[in-house]
Chains A and B, each alone.
Chain A
Amino acid sequence: MATARLSTHRVVIVGAGPAGIRCAETLLAAGCKPILIDENRRDGGQIYRRQPEGFTRDYTTLYGTEAAKAKDLHQSFDRLRGLIDYRPDTLVWNLTPGQLCCVSQGKHSTVDYDALILCTGATDRLMPIEGWQLAGTYSLGGAQIALKSQAVSIGHRVVFMGSGPLLYLVASQYLKAGANVAAVLDTSPLGKRIGALPKLLARPGVLFTGMKLLAQLYRAKIPVHLGISPLQVLGDAQRGVSGVRVRTAEGKTLTVECDAVALGYHLRPETQLADLAGCRLRFDEASSQWWLATDEEGRTSVNGVYAAGDGSKIRGADAAEHAGRLVAMALLEDLHQPVDAGLRDEQRRALALMDQFRLGLAQAFPWPAEQAKALPDSAIVCRCEMISAGELRRTVSEKGACEVNRAKAFSRVGMGRCQGRYCSQAGAEVIAAAAGVNVQLVGRQRGQAPVKPLSMLTEEVSP
C-alpha cells in the first residue's frame, strides 16, 4: 500500500469526550489536522461534561476527586480547538464507506473520510424494574448530568439504585451538593466486592476513592443496602414516582419513599455507527454484553475505521484518554508516520492495569441478568413502546422468536425512539431466560440509521 501523505489523509474523529480529545491532541502533535465532530454544543463528553457558560461552580465542586483530570482535559481541548476542524452541535446520523452523513441545525451535509476514529462513548446500562416507566425515574448518568450540568437535583427526595461505582459517586455528589438522598440500594452483595478485591487493587487509588465515597454516605447516615433485589418503582401515572420497594439481602421487604429514582448498572457502549460501518462486535463475557471487536490499539475489523473509549470497550474515562492517544498512534503507524514508542508503551501499560480493574468492577458489581427472569409479566421492558415482559415472553413461547431482532419484529421491543438503547439488552436476557439459552446466542439488536431521530424538516446543504 502506498504511503498516504499525512496532510492529505482525511481523518475524522467522532466524539469530543476524553478519548476523542486525546486522540485529536496526539494527531495534532504529529502534524495531522483532524476533523472532530461532536453531537453536543460543548466538548467534554459525559463524565467531564462542562457546565454552561455563566455557571460559577469550581472544578472541585463539579468533579470532586477528578477535578484535576477534568481541568486538564478541558484546557487541553481549549488549546487545540482552534487548530483542528472542530464541528460541535453536529450529529453523525448515518454513514457509507468513506462518507459520514451529518446533520447540524436542521441541515444535512456529508463529510468524506480516509480514516474514521469512533469515540462515541456510552450510555447507562439499565435493567427494567416494574414501574420504571413512571415519571421521576432517571438513569444514574442522567441524575449526574442534572447536577453537574444544570445544578439541579432530579427530585426532592432521591433514591439511588442499581450497581457499579457510579451509584456511589452520584449519590455522594448529591449529598455534597445539598440534595436529599433517601437511600442507596445496591444489587451487588458485599461478598462480590470482597471477591473482586484482588483485581480492583490494580488501581488502588480508584479503589480507595470508592471506599471513601461509601464512608461519606455512612457518615451522613444515608441508608445503604447491599445485595438488594429491586421489586417495584411505586407511584401513579399522573404524579409519577412515590417510592421504591425492594427485597433486602435478609429477605425483608423495604419500601423507601421518594419522588425520584436514579437507576443504573454501569455502562453500555454506543456502537451504532460502528455497526453501520460494518465493524464486527464481540461478546464480552465478563460484562455480558457486546463490545466492538478491535485489536489492542483500536483498529476495528473494517479497514480505515478505528475506535477508542467507552464507545468501544467500557473501561472508564481514564482508560478513554489512554485509548484515545493509543488509537491516534495506531493510525499514525498505519500511515507510516513516526510514533513515540515510549508514549505508546505508557498507554499500553496503563490500559493493561485498567483492563484488570474493569474485570474487577464487573465482578464486584455484576450485571444483574437474573433480574430479567424474575421480572413479573406486567413489568414494562420497552419504555418507548410500553411493551411488557409478558408480551416479550409470549413471542418466544408462541412464536418461537429466540433471537433479539426476530423478537423485536414480533413484540416491538426496541422499535421505539431510543432504538433499543435502554431495553434491548434486558430484552435479550428476558428472551434468553424464556428460551432457555445463553444470552449470547440470542444476539443483539442490529444498529440502524438514523443513529438518533432525524427531523423531517432536514434539508440538504449543497456542497
Chain B
Amino acid sequence: MKGRFVRLAEQGRPTVKLTVDGTPIEALQGDTLMVALLTQGSALRQSEFDSGRRAGFCLMGACQDCWVWTRSGERLRACSNEVRDGLDIVTTQPEAIWPLHG
C-alpha cells in the first residue's frame, strides 16, 4: 500500500508542499500532518518498545500516538497540527543530539 488513508472528498483544495523523510510530498490545505503523511505513506513513527510502526489512533489529541519530529528536532502532534509549506518531517526519531561545546 502506498498511502494508508484514502481521500473520499474535498480534493479541490490548494496544495501545500512539505518534506517527509527527505522526500518532497504534496498535501492539501487544511490537511492535518497526520493525513498528509498517511495519504502518502503507511506510518508516522517507530514504536519505542517494539519493532512496530505506528500510525496514530484517536485523531483527537488524546492518545499521544501520533507525535512526529521535524528535522530540527521539534515535536509535533500530527493529528492536531495542520500542514504548512516548508515543513520538514522525519518519521524515525532523530538521535538525541546533545550540543557540543568547546
Q: Do chains A and B touch in the complex (CB under 8 A)?
A: yes
A: residues with CB less than 8 A from B are 39-40, 46, 51-57, 123-124, 133-139, 141-143, 145-147, 149-156, 177-179, 237-240, 259-260, 270, 383-386, 416-418, 421-422, 452-453, 455
Return A71 CB to nearest CB of chain B, in Å: 19
Task: Report how many A-B pairs have Cβ atoms within 8 Å.
Answer: 149
Chain B residues contacting A383 (CB-CB under 8 Å) are 57, 63, 65
Q: Is the interface of A mostly helix, strand, loop or mixed?
A: loop
**A418-B64 in contact (CB<8A):** yes
**B10-A151 in contact (CB<8A):** yes
- For B49, give the chain A residue with the smallest CB separation: A386
**B61-A452 in contact (CB<8A):** yes
Taking A39-B61, A123-B60 as contacts, is the C-beta distance between A52 and B6 under 8 angstroms? no
Chain B residues contacting A51 (CB-CB under 8 Å) are 10, 30
**A237-B50 in contact (CB<8A):** yes
**B53-A154 in contact (CB<8A):** no
Chain B residues contacting A124 (CB-CB under 8 Å) are 58
| Cα A40 to Cα B55 with chains together (Å) | 21
**B6-A240 in contact (CB<8A):** no
Chain B residues contacting A55 (CB-CB under 8 Å) are 10, 13, 30
Taking A237-B51, A240-B42 as contacts, is the C-beta distance between A259 and B58 under 8 angstroms? no
Chain A residues contacting B43 (CB-CB under 8 Å) are 135, 240
Given contact pairs A135-B4, A179-B6, A386-B49, a sample of 4 additional A-B residue pairs in the complex whose CB atoms are under 8 Å apart: A133-B47, A133-B54, A138-B59, A417-B64
Q: Sample 7 A-B pairs with CB under 8 A, ordered by A number.
A: A55-B13, A145-B79, A149-B59, A151-B9, A237-B53, A239-B1, A422-B58
- In this complex, how many residues of chain B approach chain A with their Cβ under 8 Å: the count is 44
B: residues with CB less than 8 A from A are 1, 4-10, 12-14, 29-32, 35, 38-39, 42-43, 47-65, 67, 75, 79-80, 82
**B4-A142 in contact (CB<8A):** no
- For A121, give the chain B residue with the smallest CB separation: B60
- For A140, give the chain B residue with the smallest CB separation: B58
- Determine which residue in B5, B29, B31, B57 has the highest number of CB atoms from chain A within 10 A of its CB, and name it: B57
Taking A142-B60, A155-B5, A386-B47 as contacts, is the C-beta distance between A54 and B52 under 8 angstroms? no
- For B81, give the chain A residue with the smallest CB separation: A41
**B57-A142 in contact (CB<8A):** yes
Chain B residues contacting A137 (CB-CB under 8 Å) are 57
Chain A residues contacting B39 (CB-CB under 8 Å) are 152
**B55-A135 in contact (CB<8A):** yes
Taking A142-B57, A239-B42 as contacts, is the C-beta distance between A57 and B10 under 8 angstroms? yes
Out of B1, B55, B82, name the residue touching A156 (CB < 8 Å): B1
Return A269 CB to nearest CB of chain B, in Å: 12
| Cα A49 to Cα B73 with chains together (Å) | 31
**A141-B60 in contact (CB<8A):** yes
Chain B residues contacting A136 (CB-CB under 8 Å) are 4, 42, 55
**A134-B65 in contact (CB<8A):** no
Taking A237-B50, A259-B1, A259-B4 as contacts, is the C-beta distance between A177 and B58 under 8 angstroms? no
Return A332 CB to nearest CB of chain B, in Å: 31
| Cα A417 to Cα B79 with chains together (Å) | 15
**B8-A240 in contact (CB<8A):** no
Chain A residues contacting B58 (CB-CB under 8 Å) are 123-124, 138-139, 141-142, 422
